[in-house]
Amino acid sequence: MSRMDRNKKLHEQLAKEERRSAGKETIFARREAKTVRHPQDEEFLEENEFVEQPYDQTSQRPGGDHSSANKSFRGPKRTAGKKSKAKSSSKSNMAFGSNGQSSGKKQAKQEKAANAKSKRRKKHPILRFLLYLLVFVLAYSVVAFVAGQQVAKRDAQASDTETFNGVASANGAKNILLLGSDSRQGEAGRADTIMVLQLDGPSKKPKLISFMRDTLVTIPGYGENKINAAYAFGGAELVRQTLAENFGIQTNYYAKVDFKSFEKVIDTLFSNGVPINAEKDMSKNLEVPIKKGQQNMNGLELLQYARFRMDEEGDFGRVRRQQQVMDAVFHAMKNPLSMVKLPYAAGKVLGYASTNLPVSFLLKNTFSIAKGAGGIDRLTVPVDDSWQYGSTYEAGSVLVINFDTNKQAIESFLNQ
C-alpha cells in the first residue's frame, strides 16, 4: 500500500471517531435537559448527584478537540447548582405544606367551636324556658304563701307564738311536735291531740307518732298526770320536756292548731274534699253524721271523723283515725290542683297555727313531704302489750305503760 493510501485510510478513521464523539455529546446534553425539567425531584437529584462522565476518546487523540471534555467537566457543577435550587424549592414546598396543614387544623378547630356554639344556642331556649318557669313558680309560691298567712293573721282565731326551746334528736332529725287543742269540749287548757312528725330522719320519709292522751306520765314540776295535762300546765314547751323525760324523744319545732282552723285549711287546700274510707257509721255527739265507706270529706266531716271516740275502742280508735286522716291528707296532695293551692294553704296553716316552724325547713324537706303522698309510717304509743288500765286520784282513769318497751319501740321506729 502506498503512503497516500495509508494517509487516506487514517483520515477516514479520524472522521468516524469525530462522528462517534459528537453522538456521545448529544446524549449527555439530553441528560442535562432532563435534569432541568425535574428540579423538584430530590430522589432524581440524589441518584444523579455525580453525573456520569462519558468516555471521551478525543482526549486520547493528539491535537484533538477538547471542547466536549470541557463540557463534561462543567456538567457536574451545573447539576450541583440545580440540586441546591431543587432542595431550596423542596424546603419551601415543605414549609408551605406545614403552614397549610397548621392553617387547616386551625380552621377545623374554628368550625368545631362554631358548631358547639350553635348547639348551645339551640339548647338555650329550653334552658331559658325552664329558668323562667322556675322564677315564676317561686314568685307565685312566695306571693300565695304571704297572702294566705295574712288572711289567717287577720282572723281572730290566729294564735301567738309560744316559747319553745327545741332540741334536735340524737340522729340529727328536727322533729315537729303537733298539738291540737280541745277547746270545743270546755277543756281549753288541754291538748286533745299530741303527735310527733319526723320529715328529715334517716329514711327521708314522713314518720308519725301519736301519743294516747290518757297515758300516765311524770310531768316535770307537776308530778304524775295524763300527758295531755302538760299543755295546760306549761304550754308546748312543757309538753316537749315531758316527752323527752318519759320517752327519750326530742322535738325541735312545734305547731299548735285549733280544730276550727283545721277545717279552714282543709277546705282551702282540698276544694273537693279529702278521699277517705270511713271505718263505720258514726253519729253520737257529732255535728254531722258519718257513713261507712269510701267518700270525700270536707273540713268539718274530716274533723268529726278524727275526733270520734264514743265506741268500744275509745281513745285507741280515735288515735288510729287521726293517723288515718293525716295519711289521707298527705295522699291527697298528689292532686295537681292541690299542689297549686299548697303555698296559699301552707301560709294559712302557719298563720292560724302557733308555731316556730320556719318556711325554709318545709322547703328543704319538700321531697320527704312528696314521698308522704304514697303513705306515711305510723306508730301509736303505748304500743301493743305494753300498757294496762289504771286510776289515780289526780287524773282519774289512765293508761299505765311500760316505759322501757315504748322507748325502745320509738327509737327503732324513728331510726329504721
246 vs 227: CA distance, rounded Å:
10
335-364 per-residue burial string, b: 16 or more CB within 10 A, e: under 16: beebeebbbbbbbbbbbbbbbbbeeeebee
What confidence tens digit (pLDDT) does each residue in 2-47 have? Answer: 667 777 777 777 777 777 766 555 555 555 554 544 444 444 444 4
Q: At what angle do helices 336-352 and 259-269 cross, to 10 degrees?
A: 160
Q: E strands within 212-356?
A: 216-219, 223-226, 253-257, 274-278, 293-297, 354-355
Beta carbons within 8 Å of 390's beta carbon, 6+ residues apart: 216, 397, 398, 399, 400
357 vs 251: CA distance, rounded Å:
11
180-200 per-residue burial string, b: 16 or more CB within 10 A, e: under 16: bbbeeeeeeebbbbbbbbbbb
Each as own residue / partner, the long-range contacts of residues 259-263 (CB below 8 Å, 24 or more positions apart, any chain) are 259/180, 259/181, 259/183, 259/184, 259/192, 259/303, 259/307, 260/157, 261/152, 261/157, 261/349, 261/352, 261/353, 262/180, 262/299, 262/303, 263/298, 263/299, 263/300, 263/302, 263/303
Query: Which pLDDT does position 70 carry in this prediction?
Result: 43
Query: Which pLDDT does position 43 carry in this prediction?
Result: 46
- The reply to whether the predicted model has a pTM over 0.75 is no
Grid-cell match 319526723, residue found: 198
Beta carbons within 8 Å of 362's beta carbon, 6+ residues apart: 346, 369
Q: Across the strands, what pairs with 211?
A: 381
Helix (H, G, I), strand (E, B) or coil at 188: strand
For 105-162, the DSSP string reads HHHHHHHHHHHHHHHHHHHHHHHHHHHHHHHHHHHHHHHHHHHHHHHHHHSTT--PPP
Helix (H, G, I), strand (E, B) or coil at 289: coil
211 vs 379: CA distance, rounded Å:
9
Q: From first to last of its 416 residues, what are the pLDDT tens digits of the chain?
A: 566 777 777 777 777 777 776 655 555 555 555 454 444 444 444 444 444 444 444 444 444 444 444 444 444 444 444 444 444 455 445 544 555 556 666 677 777 776 666 665 555 778 888 888 888 888 888 888 888 888 887 775 556 788 899 999 888 889 999 998 765 444 446 788 999 999 888 888 899 999 999 999 999 999 999 999 999 999 999 999 999 999 999 999 999 888 878 888 898 888 889 999 999 999 888 899 999 999 999 999 999 999 898 888 888 899 999 999 999 998 888 777 777 887 888 888 888 888 898 888 887 887 777 777 777 899 999 999 999 999 999 889 999 999 999 999 999 999 88
Query: Which pLDDT does position 408 carry in this prediction?
Result: 96
Query: Which pLDDT does position 241 carry in this prediction?
Result: 97
